[in-house]
Structure 1
Amino acid sequence: MIRSAAAPLRLGTLGMAAILLLGGCSGSRDDPNTEPAVNASRSPSTSESPDTAESATPSEAPPRNAAAYKPATTEGPAENVPLPVMPDVAKEQSKEGLETFGEHWFDLVNYGYETGETSPVRAISAPGCERCESFYADVNEGYVNDDWIQGGHLRVISSGTQFIQTPEGRFQLILSIRQDASFNRGPNGKIYHEAAADEESSAFIMEATYVSDHWVVNLVENM
């Protein structure tokens, strides 16, 4: 029975000009008085082909003697994907802590696309986060039976925050993100859905609350 699979979470496109207009909300990692700007340090080329998605490697390298990581291909899902480890600074209630935590959250989203596992994102996301729920549904749909997701890797180009608490007790983080091409695949070469790589970065806002000794995501939205 042919099924229509959901695509990995796609981000709305918003260019550099829109990010610069957000200066009242955020600052760059290097200078708290400047806006987050797209840089080339983590940005893929806009001319990337679908094969680029296959070559993306998780941020955490596997330990020595561990089975080798293999990205998803046209033949099957990724194998031996290492779970990203949260950096210690991401546990701090600080500007740098929030910025690092935001990047780690997206690392876990990428891990979910490669493995079908959503529990790591659920563990640091609050109920009622609509974008989180969309991510869970996308992954669950993408890994029905023997299906898998290839690509869809989200790359954080830059992030910044003024680290000012909102009336709801949340802190806001602005991120510039670009997403690789993605494919929902099934056995025998079946493609249920495909999406091209983003040609431009997208601006996202994340709101998170610091609870006891860790951050929890309350909201993730396109801007």
Structure 2
Amino acid sequence: MSSLGVRRQFAAISLALAGALVLGACSGSDDPDADAAQSPSSSVSPSTSPTPSPTPTATYKPASAEGPAENVPLPEMPEEAKVESKEGLVAFARYWYEAANYGYQTGDVEPLKEISGPDCFACAPFYKTVESGYQKGWISGGIIEVWDSTSTFAETESGRRQVLTQFIQEPLEVYGTDGYIKTIDGNELPSVQMIEAVFSDGKWTALDVVTIHESP
């Protein structure tokens, strides 16, 4: 534990249009004195085609001992999280944890890296855990459930904005091709982390994530 008493950790049918088939017939008169040949009225009969069925959406399947998660939807950052405001910062913090959950379920940490600074101390163990978990197997669990996020939106001396997030987290189980490997404890009681972020070039970036209260 540091001198501040704060331990750093981690925790996206077309419908086919059927054209109308126009059927027509014409006949000429055999009377040479006729002023003009008359055509019987032609009839138009649109063809009918069955309505195409919607493209089925792949069903999400969480990870288990039988295999990794399937068809995990990529989280989409809400528009509010792209605004430099108190509400925008809170929305960004919630999205940050969604990106972390996506990493646990897929092994893809790029969405989190895109919104985190290169020196984010708490991010490093998260990347390492996910990388090792998917190197020869997969991860089940570890999902973070955000209970609340709040911020005073006050700016620190270093120009950062701070947001507190209260959450719980499932235990994380690592499986390999040969079976179970290990379990990393979660927390049933809420923990609190602080994200220090800056808004630049039209987006928020989490420079650091610090645990300020860890459940026993």
CA offsets per residue over residues 101-158 of structure 1, 9 Å max, x none?
Answer: 001000000000000001000111111101111111111000013x000000011111
* Equivalent pair of 1:10/1:179 in contact (CA under 8 Å): no
Among 191, 196, 200, the residue aligned to 2:189: 200
Whole-Å separation in 1 of the counterparts to 2:79 and 2:55? 22
Instruction: Output one character per residue of 1:171-195: Cα deviation in whole Å (capped at 9) or x when no partner.
Output: 000111100121011124x222113
* Counterpart AA for 1:139: V
**1:213 lines up with 2:202 in the alignment:** yes
Partner of 1:122: 113
Aligned residues: CA RMSD: 1.6
Aligned residues: percent identity? 39
SS of the counterpart of 1:143?
helix
Alpha-carbon distance in 2 for matches of 1:113, 1:86 = 18
Deviation at 1:64, TM superposition (A): 6.6
Aligned ranges for residues 1-223 of structure 1 at < 5 Å?
11=11, 65-145=56-136, 147-188=137-178, 190-223=179-212
Could you say which structure has the greater relative contact order, defined with CA pairs below 8 angstroms and 6 or more residues apart?
Answer: 1
| Corresponding residue pairs, total | 162
Q: Within 1, Cα distance between the matches of 2:148 and 2:117? A: 24
**Whose helix fraction is larger, Structure 1's or Structure 2's?**
1
Separation (CA, whole Å) in 2 of partners of 1:178 and 1:132: 18
CA offsets 1:189-215 (integer angstroms, 9 cap, x no match): x22211344131001111000012000
**1:94 & 1:141 partners in 2: Cα distance?**
37
- SS of the equivalent of 1:68 reads coil
CA distance in 1, matches of 2:119, 2:140: 27
The answer on whether the counterparts of 1:176 and 1:201 sit within 8 Å (CA) in structure 2 is yes
Q: 2:22 — aligned with what?
A: none
Amino acid at match of 1:214: K
Structure 1: where are the runs of 5+ without partners? 1-8, 12-62
* In 2, Cα distance between equivalents of 1:102 and 1:10: 13
Q: Distance in 1 between matches of 2:70 and 2:62?
A: 7
Q: Please tell me whether Structure 1 or Structure 2 has the larger radius of gyration of its CA atoms.
A: 2
Contact 1:163 1:171 in 2 (8 A): yes
Q: More strand per residue: 1 or 2?
A: 2
Give 3-state SS (helix, strand or coil) of 1:130's partner: coil
Structure 2 length as normaliser, TM-score? 0.72
Report the Cα distance in structure 1 between the residues aligned to 2:112 and 2:162, rounded to whole angstroms.
18
What is the distance in 1 between the residues matched to 2:181 and 2:81? 37
2:24 corresponding residue in structure 1: none
Q: For residue 187 of structure 2, give the secondary structure of its aligned residue in structure 1.
A: coil
